[in-house]
Amino acid sequence: MPKVFVKPNDKKRQYSRVQHLSAIETPVWLSFMSKAQEDSIIVDMEAEGLDEKGLVLRLKDVSVDEVVLLATGSHPSAHIQQSEAADRLKKGVEAIFDVPVRVENRLFFDPTAMGAIPYEKLRLPLYRAHNWHSWGRPDRSYGATFSSISCPFKCDFCCVKDFYRSDYRRRDPRLVLEDIKALVSSGVTNIKMMDELFALEHKGTREVCELLRAEGLGEVVNIWAYARIDTVSEDLLKVLRRAGVRWLAYGIESGNEAIRAGAMKGKFTNDHVRSVIQMTKDADISIVGNYMFGFWDDTFETMRETLDLAKNLNCEYSNFYCMSVYPGSRLYDEMKARGVDLPLTSEEFAQMSPNFKPVPTKALSGREVMAFRDAAFSEYFCDPGYLSMMGGRFGSHAVEEIKAMTSIEIR
């Protein structure tokens, strides 16, 4: 009898009224889990829009050996946000079917040793890119691959090593090429490179880029990947762009240099940030700037420094987050030792949930931090200079999408 591998659907709880703007990502880890069994079944509840009742209807006529619930997405924080949904689902399935139900919320295998991603086990047309990733493109088709797992750096607020149960490890570049060729042959050109850090000086990164360029895929695909201010060079950016990397996401985090350095995010200065962002734009690569409000030493003044830096950099997209304190990170242990009232439930960790619980700083309440974040989002995306830049880069349709996005009230 087959095993059934299930990705729970907690989209509505996590994203509330903006869920249509977010991506629905191919569950790469789930596909690997099912790879060993040819008769296994994958049910991606998020992609199929299923609730618990829908899952039960899918399984009622299937003879099942075991149900495995993967309580995570591709990002390490997702296993925290998905764990409650998986536990609820486990109880519901067990109450109806007389089969064992297992929940996995961390990787228990080495994905770098699993070969090519078996996309044939997935219904690729169900997946969609982030709204920003597809600006200027004909569709929101979406797929994901990876060239490494874990991360060579150690940021205080990060829990990646806890999720991967592994230090930094590379994958054979030829497998990445095989994955991308399979996606393109299926009509998918918007692609996420899942690496915690892809854009860095490493022979593996350059080999992947050279393989894609040599196959002519650089002119076809629209890849987005993570980068750091201190891991790119002018030459590397040109190599990335020729390989089809059209978006890079930088973790800038704070506009206050002392706060950024205190989080072990890097000793790069704001002048260095400006230089790299301009260098990236000159390479014709669009940018996602990632910023956080609510570091322990943040005040209204330092958060304003962050917003001012973001507006000055004028990236094509910017994510503004409240500080999240995830179990498994050094920051979690520090905040717990300070006696801070930390989030406990998945909804309290979800930034767009009505029940999101922002953590306080030494000077500010969590609600003050969240109010600043929401105001910063509106100020950034409604700025006339930003909208003018976006119209020139992606056309009027993208501008209309941005205006529609900023009109959504987040409760």
Q: What percent of the chain has pLDDT over 70?
A: 94
| H-run or E-run covering 7 | strand 3-7
CATH of 128-406, one of 3.30.110.30, 3.40.50.920, 3.80.30.20, 2.30.40.10: 3.80.30.20
pTM: 0.92
The C-alpha atoms of residue 252 and residue 293 are separated, in whole angstroms, by 11
Domain spans of the chain, in order of start:
3-104, 128-406
Q: Which two tokens stand for residue 183?
A: 């996606």
**Mean pLDDT by groups of 10 residues along the chain of 411 residues:** 85 80 92 84 93 87 85 58 77 84 84 94 96 96 95 66 75 98 98 95 96 98 96 97 98 94 77 98 98 96 98 98 85 90 86 89 96 97 98 97 92 72
pLDDT for res 185: 98
Residue with tokens 């997946």: 127
pLDDT of residue 266: 63
pLDDT value of residue 221: 98
Q: What is the pLDDT of residues 119-161, one digit of tens each?
A: 999 999 999 999 999 999 999 999 999 999 987 776 655 666 6
Separation between Cα atoms, residue 157 and residue 342, nearest integer Å? 14
Largest Cα–Cα separation, the chain: 62
28: CB partners within 8 A, 6+ apart: 74, 111, 117, 144, 145, 146, 194
Q: Given phi > 0 = left and psi -120 to 50 = alpha, else beta, which region is 255?
A: alpha
* Per-residue pLDDT tens over the stretch 350-401: 888 888 999 999 999 999 999 999 999 999 999 999 999 999 999 999 999 9
pLDDT of residue 287: 98
How far is Cα 288 from Cα 23, in angstroms, rounded to an integer?
A: 15
The closest alpha carbon to 251, from 306, 288, 210, belongs to 288
Length of the chain: 411
Crossing angle between the packed helical segments 234-242 and 270-282, to the nearest 10 degrees: 40
